[in-house]
Amino acid sequence: MKLILMRLIPILWVAEVALAGLPVSVRADEADRLKSDLIGHCMGGREKCWKFQSPEQIKKLEIRQQTDDGARRVYVVALELRAAKGEGRYAAEARIEYVKSAGNWKIKQIGLLSLIKIE
Amino acid sequence: MIAITKLLGLGAISSLLLGGCQVTELGGPLTDVSSAERAQFNAGRRVFQRAFTPESGLGPLFNSVSCVACHESPVPGGAGERTEIHVARLVGPQTCDPLFQQGGPVIQQNATPRLRAAGIEREQIPPGAAQARRSTPPLFGLGLVDAIPEAAILSREDPDDADGDGISGRANRAIDGRLGRFGRKAAVAELSDFNAGAFPLELGVTTPRSPVEETVNGKPLPPDVDPVSDPEISEEDLEATAAYVRLLAPPPLQIFTRAAEQAMVERGKGLFMTVKCAACHVPEMMTGPHASKALDRRPVALYSDLLLHDMGAALADICLGQAHAAEFRTEMLWGLRFRRQFLHDGRARTVTEAIEHHAGEAQGARDRFRALGEEDQKALLKFLESI
């Protein structure tokens, strides 16, 4: 019995690590997809306007909230942004709304929730 | 033909052909707009003139109740005599903080009754912030300015004054790194960005792009002061307003009926070049290829290079983006005769007074203007009255 348990523990440990890792990697994939989808879109306005021009501008993207009713998917994300040219690093919170169109999810709107210059 | 141009008085609605150059009414749309664009222009004009109330989204903090309340003179879309307060803080030799987290850079000066009942009358100037007054600029022709290719603006940069003419224009950048061209410090990249930001910053009206209310100097609003759910304006209304501003025609030229006056204008035009006002106030640029026929490869007589220039310590106020306190984007001079105050903060009451405030890179041009005889000065001013 003791031997069985000793053999089982590493297997269970590996399984737990794998299961714990799965959502993280899925989440990371989703964050990468969001980064890519944001390109070409704008949020905010006037001096507080950000146009996503390249994934390299998005240093961090963390999904804080997500809702999905089948036709509409809304994310609230925390972003760390860097200007494409010149100086400036910013922390932002944004609301990204997707709608399903012809079977595909497309960004309908990005709303700027907060913006702070951090560097 | 020249007599006909007198019809271009305020409110005259006419589209005339003058020597092959089509002239539009002040406050009207560009020539060659499509019927769909005209419909959008008209829809946008209605939103532009809509007076918001707290029940329809105004505030809780705001500067004015409608777009036209500021952009009013002499017709909707024009300049205005109200000034507002902008703030920023220089946090390093080259680093400007627009103080987003403390309510900057636009400080709202009014509050709705509910917010006032909660003890807040307006936003405060953040401690240690530099502050600036900003007058309301006219919006005529800005769609054309928006359609000028970046390369045409950047080609005029001379940050180190390599040609030794004392003029060293450089481009500003928006926070995301795009080339800036709108606002007195050219810190806003596109006209649609400017319009989208005006609703939350000036009217306190939330939009799909800015779906949460502005804070009170960075602090959340007190509870129950904002009765309207967000966003307070629809995407359609936002787009219509953007179309209205994009399609507003530039101010028409003033052509004087008396030959002597027109000759004076022509002489003044020459002096404008010899005094080297045109080194920064570039008379004309061209738009690039554009989906809208009305904006496609058109001349733009803006009298600006859209670059930043050092205007001297006496005018210096706030930094913004990469612009230092003394740097301002060259003011567009078209339609100057429709304005009642001049310079970025409205401190000058006449064009001559505005010229007298020119210093820094513009000092040479100012000194050459001063050195002109009285008649030549009058001719130059007459020319400025005509554009």
The answer on pLDDT for B335 being more than 70 is yes
User: Angle at which helices B259-274 and B374-386 pack, to 10 degrees?
Assistant: 100
**∠ CA B108-B109-B114, rounded to 5°:** 90
* Strand pairing class (B21-23; B61-62): unpaired
- The pLDDT of residue B40: 98
Taking an 8 Å cut-off on Cβ atoms, the answer to whether B209 and A110 are in contact is yes
Task: Give me the DSSP letters along B257-298.
Answer: SSHHHHHHHHHHHHHHHHTTGGGTS-S-EE----SSGGGTT-
Taking an 8 Å cut-off on Cβ atoms, the answer to whether B194 and A87 are in contact is no
**∠ CA B352-B353-B358, rounded to 5°:** 95
Scanning chain B, the segments in alpha helix (DSSP H) are 35-49, 67-70, 113-117, 142-146, 150-154, 191-198, 235-247, 259-274, 351-356, 363-371, 374-386
> What residues form DSSP beta bridges with B248?
B29
Residue B15's pLDDT band (cuts 50, 70, 90): very low
pLDDT in tens, B21-54: 456 799 999 999 999 999 999 999 999 999 999 9
- The pLDDT of residue B24: 78
User: Closest by alpha carbon to B98, among B170, B172, B171, B169?
Assistant: B172
- The pLDDT of residue B94: 84
How many Å apart are CA B216 and CA B210, to the nearest integer? Answer: 16
Compare CB distances from B177 to A45, A46, A86 and report the shortest one's residue. A86
> What residues form DSSP beta bridges with B146?
none
pLDDT in tens, A62-90: 999 999 999 999 999 999 999 987 678 99
Per the model's pLDDT, the better-predicted residue between B3 and A116 turns out to be A116
A65 close to B215: Cβ distance less than 8 angstroms: no
B121-135: average pLDDT: 98
> What residues form DSSP beta bridges with B179?
B173
pLDDT in tens, B268-322: 999 999 999 999 999 999 999 999 999 999 999 999 999 999 999 999 999 999 9
Q: Is A63 on the interface with B (CB under 8 A)?
A: no
B186-202: average pLDDT: 98
Mutate to test the interface with B, among A47, A72, A77 (most CBs of B within 10 A): A47
Question: Is the C-alpha dihedral spanning B311, B316, B317, B322 positive or negative?
Answer: positive
Q: A24-28, A59-63, B161-165, B176-180 — which is least confidently predicted? A: A24-28
- The pLDDT of residue B6: 40
Question: Which chain B positions have a beta carbon within 8 Å of A115's beta carbon?
Answer: 100
Task: Please tell me whether residue B218 adopts helix, strand or coil conformation.
Answer: coil
List Cα–Cα distances, B88 to A21, A85, B84, B130, in angstroms: 44, 20, 14, 6
Compare CB distances from B101 to A50, A87, A116 and report the shortest one's residue. A116
Question: Which chain B positions have a beta carbon within 8 Å of A47's beta carbon?
Answer: 98, 105-106, 174-175, 183, 187-188, 197, 320-321
Question: Which chain B positions have a beta carbon within 8 Å of A49's beta carbon?
Answer: 174-176, 188-190, 193, 196-197
Q: Which residue of A has its CA nearest to B207?
A: A111
Torsion of CA B201, B134, B176, A119, to 10 degrees: -100
Residue B10's pLDDT band (cuts 50, 70, 90): very low
Successive 10-residue mean pLDDT values, chain A, 119 residues = 53 43 66 96 97 95 97 98 86 98 95 95
- The pLDDT of residue B9: 40
Place of tokens 């106030």: B281
Chain B positions touching chain A (beta carbons under 8 Å): 94-95, 97-98, 100-101, 105-106, 173-178, 183, 187-190, 192-201, 207-212, 231, 235, 320-322
Number of other residues whose CB lies within 10 A of the CB of residue A67 = 10
Question: Which chain B positions have a beta carbon within 8 Å of A89's beta carbon?
Answer: none
B115 close to B225: Cβ distance less than 8 angstroms: yes
Per the model's pLDDT, the better-predicted residue between B132 and A16 turns out to be B132
How many Å apart are CA B275 and CA B136, to the nearest integer? Answer: 28
Q: Is A50 on the interface with B (CB under 8 A)?
A: yes
Q: Is A87 on the interface with B (CB under 8 A)?
A: yes
Residue B324's pLDDT band (cuts 50, 70, 90): very high
Helix (H) or strand (E) holding A27: helix A2-38
Taking an 8 Å cut-off on Cβ atoms, the answer to whether B210 and A45 are in contact is yes
User: Closest by alpha carbon to A96, among A115, A77, A81?
Assistant: A77
Contacts of range B112-119, beta carbons closer than 8 Å, 24 or more positions apart: B112/B54, B112/B58, B112/B59, B112/B60, B112/B62, B112/B204, B112/B225, B113/B54, B114/B54, B114/B60, B114/B224, B114/B225, B114/B226, B114/B227, B115/B59, B115/B60, B115/B61, B115/B221, B115/B222, B115/B225, B118/B222, B118/B225
Taking an 8 Å cut-off on Cβ atoms, the answer to whether B198 and A45 are in contact is yes
Taking an 8 Å cut-off on Cβ atoms, the answer to whether B97 and A110 are in contact is no
- The pLDDT of residue B196: 97
Q: Please state the pTM of the whole predicted model.
A: 0.91
Q: Which residue of A has its CA nearest to B182?
A: A46
Burial class (CB in 10 A: 0-12, 13-18, 19+), A19: exposed
Q: Is A98 on the interface with B (CB under 8 A)?
A: no
B160-186: average pLDDT: 96
* Strand pairing class (B308-310; A72-82): unpaired
Query: How far B182 CA sits from the closest chain A CA (Å)?
Result: 9
Query: How far A29 CA sits from the closest chain B CA (Å)?
Result: 25
Taking an 8 Å cut-off on Cβ atoms, the answer to whether A86 and B321 are in contact is yes
* Strand pairing class (B327-329; B96-97): unpaired
Q: Which residue of B has its CA nearest to A113?
A: B212
B362 close to B329: Cβ distance less than 8 angstroms: no
List Cα–Cα distances, B6 to B16, B163, B251, B253, in angstroms: 11, 43, 14, 11
Spacing of C-alpha B223 from chain mean position = 35
How many Å apart are CA B7 and CA B25, to the nearest integer? Answer: 10
Question: Which chain A positions have a beta carbon within 8 Å of B193's beta carbon?
Answer: 42, 45-46, 49, 51
Query: How far A98 CA sits from the closest chain B CA (Å)?
Result: 13
- The pLDDT of residue B271: 98
Task: Please tell me whether residue B40 adopts helix, strand or coil conformation.
Answer: helix
- The pLDDT of residue B320: 97
Scanning B8-129, the segments in alpha helix (DSSP H) are 35-49, 67-70, 113-117
B341-361: average pLDDT: 98
Query: How far A87 CA sits from the closest chain B CA (Å)?
Result: 8
Q: Quote the tokens at residue B221.
A: 């609003």
Backbone angles phi, psi at B42, to 5 degrees: -65, -40
Compare CB distances from A44 to B98, B210, B320 and report the shortest one's residue. B210
Compare CB distances from A84 to B101, B106, B177 and report the shortest one's residue. B177
B136-159: average pLDDT: 98
Taking an 8 Å cut-off on Cβ atoms, the answer to whether B175 and A48 are in contact is yes
Q: Which residue of B has its CA nearest to A111?
A: B209
B320 close to B94: Cβ distance less than 8 angstroms: no
Spacing of C-alpha A73 from chain mean position = 13
Taking an 8 Å cut-off on Cβ atoms, the answer to whether B193 and A84 are in contact is no
> What residues form DSSP beta bridges with A6?
none
User: Closest by alpha carbon to B148, among B300, B252, B309?
Assistant: B300
